Amino acid sequence: MTASFQPARVFDFHGKTAVVTGGGNGIGQGVAQALALAGAKVAVFDHDAQAAKATCERIQAQGGEAWPYTVDVTQEAQVTAAMQSFHDHVGHIDILINNAGIAIRRATLELSVADWQKVLDVNLTGVFICARAAARFMVPQQSGCIVNTASIMGLSGGGLYPNISYQSTKGAVVNLTRALAVEWASAKVRVNAIAPTWVRTDFIKPLLAQENLVQRIEAMTPLARLADTEDVVGPILFLCSDAAKMITGHTLPVDGGFLAQ
Ligand code: NAD
């Protein structure tokens, strides 16, 4: 073991900078807060300007440093400009949490191509645009870490309700993660993903209202519960940390054993 490896300091992110997309709510907000609490300077990208600002105000109230950017991840020019502006401000971009995502849960026979495309634009093209924009700084600096947000729905066929565009994009994110990890490994840029189970955020509020759905999910999950935001934040921090410095191209399920069955 080298003297430079200090387990107690693995989750110290002082000196690091991070961009969190979809950081205005839910999982992204939790990760942005956690990274800032751990010392990172954080850029919160969200197309909801008020939500991005609110996350930054929470972080600042906790003594952290964060800046809101109104960014739609599907708009290349907005992403490029915000990434450049944050880089100009802090000098380097070390971490990208590629988290913004949407779902249009509709029976496949009734799903319009326009709705299919909307989900692809955010969940897949947005992930590509943001990864590439961050890597334009990470590759030349020969360091960086990207964590994409997949889902257990990218690793299974679902079954509880139809969600074909979501499942397709999250499956694509798993393989995009592998491919980018291989392409950028020589530049020491690590690319991983997480695949959460259902997480109690606004994203699944309409589902939680469905009769018996929570009970059915619990029955299908060995740990017998849905995830909370902090259940997902810890694994993301792990993937960003030096504890994971030999891990790239991996998708980490955060699923209470759902996929293990
Ligand atoms: P959320 O709806 O609570 O938050 C998503 C955030 O992304 C919002 O602040 C929203 O304004 C922002 N956003 C949406 N479209 C955007 C765009 N085009 N550009 C910029 N920002 C945009 O959702 P969440 O539950 O925190 O989900 C975050 C990620 O986790 C998503 O990729 C989602 O697919 C994934 N995920 C969620 C769950 C779950 O059950 N909640 C499970 C597995 C994976």
Distance CA 161, CA 114 (A): 20
In sign, the C-alpha dihedral spanning 110, 123, 163, 212 is negative
Residue 79 and residue 53 in contact, taking contact as beta carbons nearer than 8 Å: no
**What pLDDT score does 245 carry?**
95
Residue 144 beta carbon below 6 angstroms from any ligand 1 atom: no
Q: Give 184's contacts (C-beta < 8 A, 6+ positions apart).
A: 135, 138, 139, 144, 191
Identify any residues that bridge with 19 across adjacent strands, giving them in sequence order: 43, 96
Q: Which amino acid is at 73?
A: V
Instruction: Please name the residue whose Cα sits nearest to atom 10 of ligand 1.
Output: 22
The alpha carbon of 6 and the centre of ligand 1 are apart by a number of angstroms equal to 34
At residue 186, what are phi and psi to the nearest 5 degrees?
Answer: -65, -20
Of ligand 1's listed atoms, the one at least distance from the Cα of 72 is 19
| Residues marked as catalytic | 166
The alpha carbon of 102 and the centre of ligand 1 are apart by a number of angstroms equal to 6
**What pLDDT score does 41 carry?**
98
Say if pTM beats, i.e. exceeds, 0.85.
yes
For each successive 10 residues of the chain (261 residues), what is the average pLDDT? 81 98 98 98 98 98 98 98 98 98 97 98 98 98 98 94 97 98 98 98 93 95 98 98 97 98 95
The alpha carbon of 5 and the centre of ligand 1 are apart by a number of angstroms equal to 34
**What pLDDT score does 155 carry?**
98
Distance CA 124, CA 1 (A): 39
**What pLDDT score does 1 carry?**
77
